[in-house]
Amino acid sequence: MNQTVTIKVKLNFDNQTIANKFEKTMEAYRLTCNYISEYIFNHNFDMSQTRLNKAIYSDLRSKFGLKSQMAQSAIRNVVAKYKTVKTQLFNNPLYYDTGQKNAKGKKVYQRVYRNLDWLWNPISFNTPQVDLQRNRDWSYLASKNLLSLNTLDGRVKVTPICKGFDQYFTPEWKLGIGKLLNIGNKWYLHVSATKEIPDYQVSQTEHVVGIDRGLRFLATCYDEHGKTAFFDGKQVARKRRKYKKLRAQLQAKGTKSAKRRLKKIGQRENRWMTDVNHQLSKTLVNKYGKNTLFVIEDLGGVREATEKTNKDSRYENVSWAFFQLGQFLTYKSNLNSSQTVELPAEYTSQRCPKCGRIRKENRDHDLHLYICDKCGYSTNDDRLAAINIQQLGTRYVSGEEEPIIIKDK
């Protein structure tokens, strides 16, 4: 299989001229994308690269001053965006109330699949950025540790800041598009890198680790030796509370500048949470080593995640963070001869791992304790979920494709 990652390279330079060149190029690119988007919107969503090239390529170069490669990138970028939206629309059909009722007295809805014709306006490109093609628009001079980037006013050279950047310049990594971005007054090049890795065989599994994601503990892990590892969430909770207070204050103000700051703070909080998830997933992958099968709950909707939050924690914040941790763990384990699987989490917080008894009331939410009313087994409730998830993983390794916990009636 191929594993693609995004390398986030910070660009180090202290030169307003370079910043101006970047800004000018990004703005021209953004306007170009909007121009292409409008064309596609007005021409029956024709997304053939060849026909688009024929129809507007020379416009793009004369109107916006883009070089040939950048104009091509812009077309590709816009087409990709339309394809994504097309899929999203299809995956989110509408349900019309037909006004009729079925035999059981329930309302009958009609499902309507949507296509791009449902768009009211062309997709708009608001974030300034530019896609640079490897070796044409961007290249790395390893001997001088410099990145060379193309702008409308010629090439500029800047120093990349990225731990382990060198490791991607080996034959096994294929480097692709570099996205030039400006985030919080800092400049970045996000480079996509792909590596071919052998498919994980369940038979190579040496360790099975069940992971429960939560708020009190970001992750509770339980392995095949019966060892538990807790990754404290206190610091995260504290910081989240701080952000929450700050947001509430700004919301109360309601001024335009407060709204702007609110948005900024939200972005900063997300970036910070992303960083936490990167570190945590990296720690987990390193801790358990190669040939590990990590098992996490399939979050399905966000129901399972919302159950864990209390009144004070905004659920949307938690659910994306849980989801993101799963994604990071997935690709990082892939790159380390390991695998992450998602298995259904039903009853993982109600089941006694010793005797199999399933009873909701065995769990005391306030004491964070589970006590089995049948066999007397007791444990911390975060740990309980991790054990049950680990046991599902063990069943998976022994050949069950979709192990689930079933409650006897």
Stretch that binds Zn ion, among 46-54, 105-113, 181-189, 371-379 (CB under 5 A): 371-379
Bridge partners of 78? none
Question: Is residue 61 part of the contact set for Zn ion (CB under 5 A)?
Answer: no
Of 28-36, 187-195, 207-215, 373-381, the window that binds Zn ion (rule: CB under 5 A) is 373-381
377 binds Zn ion (CB under 5 A): yes
Q: Which stretch binds Zn ion (CB under 5 A): 17-25, 94-102, 151-159, 351-359?
A: 351-359
The one-letter amino acid at 314: R
Nearest to 235 by CA among 221, 219, 217, 249: 217
Tokens linked to 273: 């949470």
- Candidate list 202, 335, 367, 375; residue touching Zn ion; CB under 5 A: 375
35 to 14, 23, 51, 53, 289: CA distances (angstroms) = 33, 18, 15, 13, 49
In whole angstroms, the minimum distance from the beta carbon of 358 to Zn ion comes to: 10
Residue 372 in the binding site for Zn ion (CB under 5 A): yes
Tell me: does residue 363 bind Zn ion (CB under 5 A): no
Q: Which of 116, 153, 138 is nearest to 23 (CA)?
A: 153
C-alpha distance across the termini of the chain, in Å:
42
Cross-strand bridge partners of residue 154: 151
Hey, what's the torsion of the CAs at 35, 39, 45, 49, to 10 degrees?
-80
Instruction: Please tell me the count of residues contacting Zn ion according to CB under 5 A.
Output: 8
**Residue 74: both structure tokens together:** 């812009």
Q: What is the DSSP letter of 106?
A: P
The region of 3-11, 132-140, 366-374, 395-403 touching Zn ion under the rule CB under 5 A is 366-374
Residue 374 sits in the site that holds Zn ion (CB under 5 A):
yes
Between CA 388 and CA 394 the distance in angstroms is 10
By the rule CB under 5 A, 355 interacts with Zn ion: yes
Minimum separation from the CB atom of position 363 to Zn ion (A): 12
Nearer to Zn ion, 336 or 380 (CB): 380
Q: Which is nearer to Zn ion, 162 or 371 (CB)?
A: 371
Pick the closer one to Zn ion by CB: 340 or 348. Answer: 348
Q: Which stretch binds Zn ion (CB under 5 A): 44-52, 59-67, 345-353, 379-387?
A: 345-353
In degrees and rounded to multiples of 5, residue 104 shows phi and psi of -85, 5
Rounded to the nearest whole angstrom, what is the least distance from the CB of residue 372 to Zn ion in the complex? 3
- Measured CA to CA, the distance from residue 355 to residue 230 in angstroms comes to 24
Question: Segment contacting Zn ion (CB under 5 A): 116-124, 145-153, 301-309, 357-365?
Answer: 357-365
Give the Cα separation of 175 and 192 in Å (integer). 6
Q: Least separation, in Å, of the C-beta of 377 and Zn ion?
A: 5
Give me the helices (H) in 254-376, please.
256-288, 303-308, 315-334
**Of 391, 395, 388, residue with least CA distance to 349:** 388
> Least CB distance from residue 229 to Zn ion, whole Å?
23
Stretch of 30-38, 76-84, 333-341, 374-382 contacting Zn ion, by CB under 5 A: 374-382
Q: Would you count residue 373 as binding Zn ion (CB under 5 A)?
A: no
Q: Of 294, 320, 293, 289, which is closest to residue 306 (Cα–Cα)?
A: 320
Contact residue for Zn ion among 24, 61, 278, 354 (CB under 5 A): 354
Q: Is 108 in the site for Zn ion (CB under 5 A)?
A: no
Nearer to Zn ion, 163 or 360 (CB): 360
Q: Give, in order, the Cα–Cα distances in Å from 254 to each of 149, 207, 243, 251, 266.
A: 41, 52, 17, 5, 15
Q: Which is nearer to Zn ion, 57 or 377 (CB)?
A: 377
Q: How many CB atoms lie within 10 A of CB 396?
A: 19
Can you say whether the dihedral through the CA atoms of 114, 117, 122, 125 is positive or negative? positive
* CB closer to Zn ion out of 70 and 386: 386
Nearest-approach distance from CB 391 to Zn ion, in angstroms: 13
- Span interacting with Zn ion, options 92-100, 198-206, 316-324, 367-375, rule CB under 5 A: 367-375
How far apart are CB 212 and Zn ion at their closest, in Å?
Answer: 19
CB of 393 vs Zn ion, minimal distance in Å: 20
User: Rounded to the nearest 5°, which phi and psi values hold at 264?
Assistant: -60, -45
User: Contacting Zn ion (CB under 5 A), which of 357, 359, 368, 395?
Assistant: 357
Q: Contact with Zn ion (CB under 5 A): which of 130, 352, 385, 397?
A: 352
Q: Which two tokens stand for residue 375?
A: 């066999």
What are the residues binding Zn ion (CB under 5 A)?
352, 354-355, 357, 372, 374-375, 377
